[in-house]
Structure 1
Amino acid sequence: MLDTIQRFFQQTLAEPERSDDPAPTLERATAALLCEVMRADYHTDETQLAALRELLISHFQLPGAAVEELMEMARDEVENSVDHYQFVSLIKQHYDYAQRRELVRMMWVLANADANHNALEEHRIRRLAELLHVSHSDFIRTKLQVQGKAQ
């Protein structure tokens, strides 16, 4: 009995798109965190939307229509969520450290897409990196890499 319950929860977490639970998938959780960065400065422009689209296409190898749907779902989830816990916990559970660091790098790419450095975006990335348990040195390293100041 306990094994059956445990398998159910493992399957639900590993394959949330097959469950009836509205829990986010890894793709939606990743896109939602990226949307959080994009909206941190209360201004979303077309260059950031284009950057988000390109990041999702390259990261998940999804066709354009699927990415548009993913972006829309992620924006809706961010608007309706109370906090980042559901997204962060899913990512921490399924992404290893290198994947979480890559997500922080993607956040920097998105924040720098509009060529307008904003302290609110940096603060949001810093907070999300902490929640994802990405070290401060990797937070800084990815920032510098994206800005072209380090290798």
Structure 2
Amino acid sequence: MLKTLQALFFPDDRGKETAVETRVDAAVAILLMEVARADFDVADDELEVIRRTLVDDFAMARDEADELVRHAAAEVDDSTGFFPFVRVLNEQLGSDQKRQVVETLWRVAYADAGKHHLEESVIRQIADLLYVPHSDFIRARLRAEESVPPD
């Protein structure tokens, strides 16, 4: 409802907001932030994985990535679920790209010294909504786990 009111009073901002909500990079950032927040503790290492993903995978400048991370955090605060963001990915990504998203979700979960069961639950829900087969879900977890540097 707030977005509808903003669109009525600030029509110039409406197109910009809609564009962000339908962008793959924004949807990925929001889902990554969902995983980072799942255990109620967002670690700097998790935020760094999210930023690095945006810079490396979406050819984004560091300051743009920082802005999108802030947007993702605010969106997660206001979000009522994953579906709007998953829908963007289902509409715009192929199977291989969706598997890569799931692996990146796992990388966020492992960034802060190991996955939490709540993070795993969120990743499982997102993977199911992305129609990623369970075997690919497991392989993505193993690849992410293997990429964690030893302490």
User: Does residue 39 of structure 1 match 2:34?
Assistant: no
Letter in 2 for 1:127: Q
Indicate the SS of the match to 1:36. Answer: helix
CA deviations over 1:52-105 (Å, ceiling 9, x no partner): 111111110111110011111111111111111110101100000100000000
> What does residue 4 of structure 1 align with?
none
Identity over the aligned pairs, expressed in percent? 34
Deviation at 1:49, TM superposition (A): 1.1
Query: TM-score, with normalisation over the residues of structure 1?
Result: 0.82
Q: What are the residue-to-residue correspondences of 1:100-115 with 2, within 5 Å?
A: 100-115=98-113
Letter in 2 for 1:135: P
> What does residue 90 of structure 2 align with?
92
CA deviations over 1:11-31 (Å, ceiling 9, x no partner): xxxxxxxx7273312111110
Aligned residue pairs, count: 132
Which residues of structure 1 form unaligned runs of 5+? 1-18
Query: TM-score, with normalisation over the residues of structure 2?
Result: 0.82
> What does residue 76 of structure 2 align with?
78
> What does residue 130 of structure 1 align with?
128
CA root-mean-square deviation: 1.7
Letter in 1 for 2:104: M
Deviation at 1:51, TM superposition (A): 1.6
Question: Larger deviation: 140-149 or 94-103?
Answer: 140-149
Indicate the SS of the match to 2:106. Answer: helix
Poorly superposed stretches of 4+, deviation over 6 Å: none
Indicate the SS of the match to 1:79. Answer: helix
